[in-house]
Amino acid sequence: MAEKIGVVGVGRMGANMARRLKESGFGISAVYDARPKVAKELAQELGAEACKDLARVTELSDVIITVVSDDTAMDEIFAKSGDSLLKGAAGRLFINCATISPKTHIEVEKRAAKVKAQSLEACMASSITQAREGTLYLMCGGTEEAFKRAEPILKKLSNSMRYIGKAGQAAKVKALVNMVMNINTAGLAEGLGLGQALGIDLNTLREVFSQTGANSRVLQTDGEDMQNREHSCFFSGSHAAKDSGIALKLAKEQKIKTPLAEATKAQFDKMEKLGFGELDKSGIAELTFKGRGKKKK
């Protein structure tokens, strides 16, 4: 019998993962979100229970997928006391997909083991569309036993999956992925912004970039959006700032200098200060194109 799945954190990523699993034949038993209305709407769609308490999600589920915003939220849902996913969690498997610090993944695994549950980090290097289509790229960290148990579920969510190693290791790799991606995004915004200022046709410039050393995955996903000021959110500037911060903290711990990552985080921080934080990361171009810097009316 397929394991019953609960989902905690049903924003656009979590909700689309739940939809994908439902369509793949898994039973979605419970959903939970800090916004009860959001949870209720998805629960009705999927035939699940919209839980008011975290412990109820655990009670109804064999496997719980979490997709929360940051370390603080993760600490709260896995609280050592009070309402918590850990209550009555013996035998459960937690699959934690948020981009958070490696040390938090390690701590969650320790807390889960203490109540005889398993924890696996399944860090995602993809966006909302891929979550819905089941084509995520996943980097996993934890025990091999937890990974093997999670594998049938994760295969339905991804078209590529990699076991990195013990708890915290996948989160370190994900931090580096996002650090480099964010640097590329900031660099592309500067290149296109300068190109526009120089009077270069941006369609031509993007084509030249794509055939030379200036090419990148970000050029494919964000280049046209930067040009056209189309910043519908798939990965927000606020998330980019947060994730750059995780990488910078790791660099500081290792005493490694990362001036490009520092400059990039400063740009994403500026996006937030200007009120652009909820735009897609492509919105960083609002800081580099002449005549921009103010919200479109």
Q: pLDDT digit string (tens) for 146-178?
A: 999 999 999 999 999 999 999 999 999 999 999
- Identify the band that residue 139 occupies on the pLDDT scale cut at 50, 70 and 90: very high
Amino acid 293: pLDDT = 81
In terms of C-beta density within 10 A (0-12 exposed, 13-18 middle, 19 or more buried), how is residue 99 classed? buried
CATH code: domain 172-287 is: 1.10.1040.10
Amino acid 127: pLDDT = 81
Is it the case that residue 297 has pLDDT exceeding 80?
A: no
Q: Are strands 63-66 and 158-165 parallel, antiparallel or unpaired?
A: unpaired
DSSP E strand stretches across the chain: 5-8, 28-32, 49-50, 63-66, 93-96, 118-124, 136-142, 158-165
Residue spans of the domains in the chain: they are 5-167, 172-287
Q: pLDDT digit string (tens) for 120-137?
A: 999 998 888 899 999 999
**Topology at the third CATH level for domain 5-167:** Rossmann fold (3.40.50)
Is it the case that residue 296 has pLDDT exceeding 60?
A: no
- Identify the band that residue 1 occupies on the pLDDT scale cut at 50, 70 and 90: low
Amino acid 153: pLDDT = 97
276/285 Cα distance (integer angstroms): 11
